[in-house]
A = this chain, B = another copy of it.
Amino acid sequence: MSGLFRMQSRDPGSSARTGILTTAHGQVATPAFVAVATQATVKALEPQTLVELGIQIVIANSYHLHLRPGENVIAGLGGLHGFSGWNGPVMTDSGGFQVFSLGAGKEHGVGKIASIFPGRGSCIPAEGHQGRKSLVRLDEEGVRFRSIVDGSEHFFSPEVVITLQQKLGADIALVLDECTSPLHSYGYTKRAMERTHRWARRGLEAFREGAKGEMSPNPGQVLYGIVQGGAYKDLRQESAQRIEEIGFEGFAIGGSLGRSKEEMHLVLDWTIPYLSEEKPRPLLGIGEIDDIFAAVGRGVDTFDCAACTRIARNGTVFVKDAPRHRVNLRNARFKSDPNPIASHCDCFACRHHSRAYLRHLCRSGELSFYRLASMHNLRFIVRLMSDIRAAITAGKFNELEQEWQTARRGGSA
């Protein structure tokens, strides 16, 4: 059965666990990194390259694909798998976060700012933030917004985003939720959370109805719920319980994860104990290496984050022994450096090219640089996740985390 999650091992010193997530298009060994394929492509990389990199699963963006080329075009070509040529597991988000970040998010100047919205979640604007020049309107029924492509009007409801995602045919779909910000009051966050729960029930019902109609090119598609509740302990606990009760195939942790990494850790500590051990737990929009360690240690199973490839395109590549595990190849010290980005890295860029050549491509704005750097960063994260799984299996997760913390602090690669 697709959507099935089997826990494989548990770390004795933390809440970290390994597992196998089975989807209609293959299995995912968890903890896993989910590569971001907003427009049904991971930027600069073809599906075959993702396979070579060891990417197990990707997440595409319902909002962008709805606007262009439209879910009907994609459904007509066999859904996201047939359309893109990626035959492995695929998730789609519900599109709500883009309605927020590209609509009211811009108006309110909050957008994707990490300190306010460290999680990408599936955020939509709060009521208190409406009305200024926003093109986005939210009520109990759903969200109205204008296309960033052509200005046309669109409406997303819990039901509409299900139909949309059924046509896209990803293996894992997500319900529509409302993301609150850390600036919101307890009262507003609670009301938004309660609406998110009502939307979750409507979404699941629509999903079951749609599945009967065989509208999706992917009959094995499953639906995940999303836990909200901001950075309030009792709300996160209540949301976890309510979403759990509704009965999804997985439970994503979305929305505001607090104003700092420490608050994010607390949110995870409050939420995860209330989620079923038998279901997968994606953390939406988080992907820095220290965050991955922190979240895996608290029981999170998957991560998706566009930053991994976005920073690559800007010249920032992962190495173990450096602050934040990053160096920027534009740095003059790499001008004549014959070494690969990272010693012991088996990625294509490290096997074939020097830092000096990559720096030249980066500074020249060459398209091949975006590809090579993206390959390195994704391969780096894929290997990290593999090392994390091995450490959990061996009962040595905390040792691995310690090792990386030391590398991060002492490093100057």
Q: Check B356 against A77 for contact (C-beta < 8 Å).
A: yes
Q: Check A73 against B367 for contact (C-beta < 8 Å).
A: no
Residues of B within 8 A of A47 (CB): 352
Which of A41, A47, A354 counts the most chain B CB atoms within 10 A? A41
- For residue A83, CB closer than 8 A to chain B, the reply is yes
> Per a CB cutoff under 8 Å, which of B44, B83, B352, B360 touches A368?
B44
Q: Check A357 against B68 for contact (C-beta < 8 Å).
A: no
A366 to B361, CA, bound (A): 19
> Per a CB cutoff under 8 Å, which of B43, B85, B338 touches A357?
B85
Residues of B within 8 A of A352 (CB): 46-48, 85
Residues of B within 8 A of A48 (CB): 352
- For residue A184, CB closer than 8 A to chain B, the reply is no
Per the CB 8 Å criterion, the residue count for chain A at the interface is 39
Q: Check B73 against A356 for contact (C-beta < 8 Å).
A: yes
- For residue A335, CB closer than 8 A to chain B, the reply is yes
Q: Check B336 against A68 for contact (C-beta < 8 Å).
A: no
Nearest B residue (CB) for A47? B352
Residues of B within 8 A of A152 (CB): none
In residues 68-88 of chain A, which contact B (Cβ within 8 Å)? Answer: 68-69, 73, 76-77, 83-85
Nearest B residue (CB) for A338? B77
- For residue A353, CB closer than 8 A to chain B, the reply is yes
Q: Check A43 against B356 for contact (C-beta < 8 Å).
A: no
Q: Check A336 against B76 for contact (C-beta < 8 Å).
A: yes
A76 to B337, CA, bound (A): 10
Residues of B within 8 A of A348 (CB): 46
Q: Check B73 against A368 for contact (C-beta < 8 Å).
A: no
Residues of B within 8 A of A40 (CB): 357, 360
- Interchain residue pairs with CB less than 8 A apart (8): A41-B368, A44-B371, A45-B368, A69-B335, A77-B354, A77-B357, A367-B371, A371-B371
Apart from A64-B364, A83-B357, A371-B371: 13 A-B pairs, beta carbons within 8 A: A39-B361, A40-B360, A41-B361, A42-B368, A44-B368, A46-B368, A68-B364, A69-B360, A73-B356, A77-B336, A77-B356, A83-B354, A85-B357
